[in-house]
Amino acid sequence: MLRKTIILLLFFTITACGPGKKRRTYSKTRTVTVEGSKTDTSPKLNSKKEGRKNAKANAVISTAMTFSGTRYKYGGTTKKGMDCSGLVYVSLKEHDIMFPRTSYQMALEGQNIRVNNVQKGDLLYFKTSKTAKRINHVGLVVDVKGDDIKFIHATTSRGVLVSSLREGYWNSAFVKAMRIL
């Protein structure tokens, strides 16, 4: 029984959030673009509510960024080790936003949005395996400039870091974007 448990934990560790060390190639390419980049980079706030949303998103992003460089640990939620959903969960919880703990459960919450409408604080969901039947990775959008969407997440190989949705691997693994703030 102990041997089966160890094998099961090893399997989850290997297949958890993010790409492994081996490179994957995909024959089908998909390009994600963000339309409507304006020269005026200052956000136009139509209401106080939008301003509060923006401030909340910046606060959540700031919390997530404090974990940058933290090593990957399956099920982790501390500076000693963290997984992708743990990063999002802790960052939201720090600002009194209650949210599910796992990426596939997180993907059921919020409002679906098109990738060209993504804003700071939105969540991006991925399937990081060709055989994955459900979402198994999540990232928090930290910046949108033109067609470049940057998000913070935790990968098994590099820990907590900021990546771009324009990167081939993440672009092809992308499933959907959700707004929660």
Residues noted as catalytic:
84, 137, 153
Q: Which pair of structure tokens corresponds to residue 154?
A: 């935790």
- Please state, in angstroms and rounded to a whole number, the distance separating the CA atoms of residues 103 and 138: 6
> b/e per residue, 16-53, with b = 16+ CB within 10 A?
bbbbeeeeeeeeeeeebebeeeeeeeeeeeeeeeeeeb
Is-contact 70 160, C-beta < 8 A?
Answer: yes
Is-contact 103 139, C-beta < 8 A?
Answer: no
**136 Cα distance to chain centroid:** 10
3-class DSSP assignment, residue 83: coil
Is-contact 72 17, C-beta < 8 A?
Answer: yes
Is-contact 118 149, C-beta < 8 A?
Answer: yes
